[in-house]
Amino acid sequence: MALVLHSGSGNKNAFKALIAAEYTGVKVELTKNFEMGVSNKTPEFLKMNPLGKIPVLETPDGAVFESNAIARYVARLKDNNSLCGSSLIEYAHIEQWIDFSATEVDANIGRWLYPRLGFVPHVPVHEEHAIASLKRSLGALNTHLASNTYLVGHSVTLADIVMTCNLYFGFVRILTKSFTSEFPHVERYLWTMVNQPNFKKVIGEVKQAESVPPVQKKAAAPKEPKAKEVKKEAPKEAPKPKVEAPEEEEAPKPKPKNALDLLPPSKMILDEWKRLYSNTKTNFREIAIKGFWDMYDPEGYSLWFCNYKYNDENTVSFVTMNKVGGFLQRMDLCRKYAFGKMLVIGSTPPFKVKGLWLFRGQDIPKFVMDEVYDMELYEWTKVDLSDEAQKERVNAMIEDQEPFEGEELLDAKCFNVRMSGKCHANDLHTIGPRFSFHPLPRAAINPQLPTPANPLSDLYSAGVFAAAADLVSRLLSVLHSGSGNKNAFKALIAAEYTGVKVELVKNFEMGVSNKTPEFLKMNPLGKIPVLETPDGAVFESNAIARYVARLKDNNSLCGSSLIEYGHIEQWIDFSATEVDANIARWLYPRLGFGGPHVPVLEEFAITSLKRSLGALNTHLAANTYLVGHSVTLADIVMTCNLYLGFVRILTKSFTSEFPHVERYLWTMAQKERVNAMIEDQEPFEGEELLDAKCFK
């Protein structure tokens, strides 16, 4: 059977595979009489791509969706062709520019164009943000092309095909000459590429847009006049608007008050204490600690010590600190009623985690115990203020006193206090940074994992996620990123599976380290992560993970056949465009990134995310892994992207609609530990095996 591409004839995403086929000599037939909105809604099509998006490539071994994955598959159908590069570093750079094209060029063109065409609500301030982001991306591309005819090497590669198709779409629809003239090398590149014979055969003549499309007005207005006509024809029904009024009054009904708001007024004003704590830079004990006890109201508030139950698990410093950080983020729901200090203690593992919390009322709030799953990971003890030793312990924890109980402080974190200026003197003694946790969306989840030790341990503290930290001592390539970045996790986990040596750069400070001239030479946009290799730098996290995965031959991460490779690439791209992108469109505006928060755009992002997770849930209902019967690179990328959502914004009430996605995420988090137990791995969790028995 020939390869059949299901798509309309003018689709730029279909062009990618068709042009790749021209270069490789592979025969790809464009399906006849394809009608968008009809052909892609049939049961047969939805079996190939449950989202109904085009293009889809039908092969003798199964269907492949996601246009860049299809193009990769077609390019690899012919061995030893230049589209995929002649070395591993060339392959990595090709993947880097493919992903850059998708996330930095195509995505921003779409965010500018699609709202104007009526596909997405048009919000002027978001359009401005999209244009600014696109200009930054084209500026970086322009700089690269100033000294390069092609994106990689000295001939056309798959990166050029994908980039050209995405630029072509922008050039003919919205990027006018007055806009693109700022990027002369991008212009030269585009016109050079579209006039290559293999491109021209597929795309045809290209004419640049002469104007920016006007914003399409919605044509849904006729309903209102009809409603008015009904009122005129039936005067007796004039009172009906009064019937609607109660509904309008009920909609903005005030939310039930929190039980803590119903407590008798307290003389302690929590915000005043937080301001005092934040603004005291010197003489901390004399000013802030004394001020705390002067303000403290033992009738209106209570103090609690907490001790982490599973300190023996805290063998990796950054994982332990991130675990505490995740807990504090999930505590955001009680920010009006609480103040907290969390200490990570010890100079060598295992590290101890202890905390002090001030809560409104005499008990730990019930809604906190119900919603924040981390609470059960700690032992909670109410402070006895009649005991001077306990009172002094409170002082020491608020002050970040070091040594604390005879041990060094690795880190000290404060819940819900905005720090201004320099930290007070004692902060300078802590090894780790003090964090100010600003309000974040809550993601309280109870994964309920069936493990005997700690069923609710943070995602990346388990198995292969935690093991990634041990790579620091085995240098091959250097990964420039913060230690808690989910995009860095992709490469670190891939390295664990392949045994490749990757070092996470030390003392990386976001906003500083990524703005240096040295970093900007590696990635002109200043985004992380970047992998520094002996052969050059690679940016774009999925490209880095692909590179690391291929450093070891014949490993299962990349698949055992061409169709498996196609499906792995398909799910990597699906994870990027359908899962990660929609999580970001929901989360980042709430954090103040990527433009202001606009409710209608948030609703659109949530709806899109639900569709994507629904499709993923259906696939996982019949599959343990995304592809095949073992972990692949697709699982690593998908898990890292889901991880961000699960710990930041996807609450249990949201994810419960997708039980197979939940099961998949938590299974992946524990995967390496399960492997070790099945394999009778020795040493197991740092100890020798005396015996291993199997029940059959």
Q: Is 415 a domain residue? A: yes
What's the pLDDT score for residue 555?
82
Please determine, for residue 451, whether its predicted confidence score (pLDDT) is greater than 70.
no
- Assigned domain for 576 exists: no
For 44, other C-beta atoms within 10 Å of its C-beta total: 9
Please tell me the predicted confidence (pLDDT) of residue 170.
Answer: 98
**Single residue among 524, 545, 566 that ends a domain in this structure:** 545
Query: Cα separation of 639 and 665, whole Å?
Result: 6
**Domain endpoint, select from 512, 545, 578:** 545
Domain identity same for 274 and 411: yes
Residue 465: pLDDT over 50: no
Same domain, residue pair 109 and 183: yes
CATH number of the domain bearing residue 115: 1.20.1050.10
- Provide the domain limits for residue 524: 459-545
Q: Are residues 280 and 408 in the same domain?
A: yes
**Residue 335 in domain:** yes
Torsion over CA: 347, 350, 356, 357 (sign): positive
Q: Which helix (H) or strand (E) holds 344?
A: strand 338-345
Say whether both 413 and 483 belong to one domain: no
Task: Considering only residues 180 and 314, tell me which one the structure prediction assigns the higher pLDDT.
Answer: 180
- Report if residue 437 sits inside a domain: no
The mean per-residue pLDDT over the stretch 362-380 comes to 90
In sequence order, the 6+-apart residues with CB closer than 8 A to the CB of 460 are 319, 322, 466, 468, 489, 643, 669
Residues 423 and 465 grouped into a single domain: no
Averaged confidence pLDDT in the chain: 84
Nearest CA to 608 out of 653, 578, 577, 642 is that of 578
Higher pLDDT among residues 215 and 688, named by residue: 215
User: Are the CB atoms for 411 and 322 separated by under 8 Å?
Assistant: no
390 plus 278 within the same structural domain: yes
Both 421 and 491 in one domain: the answer is no
Give the model's pLDDT for residue 576.
97
Residue 276 in any domain: the answer is yes
pLDDT recorded at residue 492: 92
Can you tell me the mean pLDDT for 9-14? 95
Write out pLDDT tens, residues 329-345: 788 889 899 999 999 99
572 touches 69 (CB < 8 A): yes
Is the pLDDT at 441 greater than 50? The verdict is no
Residue 631 scores a pLDDT above 90: yes
Could you tell me if 184 and 90 lie in one domain?
yes
How far apart, in whole angstroms, are the C-alpha atoms of residue 505 and residue 516?
14
* 8-state DSSP, 357: E
The count of domains in the chain is 3
**What pLDDT is attached to residue 685?**
54
Q: Dig out the tokens for 178 from the structure.
A: 């007055």
503 domain-assigned: yes
User: In the predicted model, is pLDDT for residue 222 greater than 60?
Assistant: no
**What is the CATH classification number for the domain harbouring 518?**
3.40.30.10
Residues 302 and 424 grouped into a single domain: yes
User: pLDDT tier at 422 (50, 70, 90 boundaries)?
Assistant: very low
Is 505 contained in some domain? Answer: yes
Two structure tokens written together for 150: 């092609």
- How do beta strands 56-59 and 3-6 pair? antiparallel
Residues 6+ positions from 616 with CB-CB distance below 8 Å = 574, 579, 638, 658, 660, 661
Q: Are 416 and 277 in a shared domain? A: yes
Choose one of 515, 545, 575: the last residue of a domain: 545
In the chain, the percentage of residues whose pLDDT exceeds 70 is 82
379 shares a domain with 326: yes
Q: Does residue 264 sit within a domain?
A: no
Paired residues of 354 in beta bridges = 307, 343
pLDDT band at residue 321 under the 50/70/90 scheme: confident
Residues 341 and 395 in one domain: yes
For residue range 489-512, what is the model confidence (pLDDT) as tens digits?
Answer: 999 999 989 988 899 998 899 999
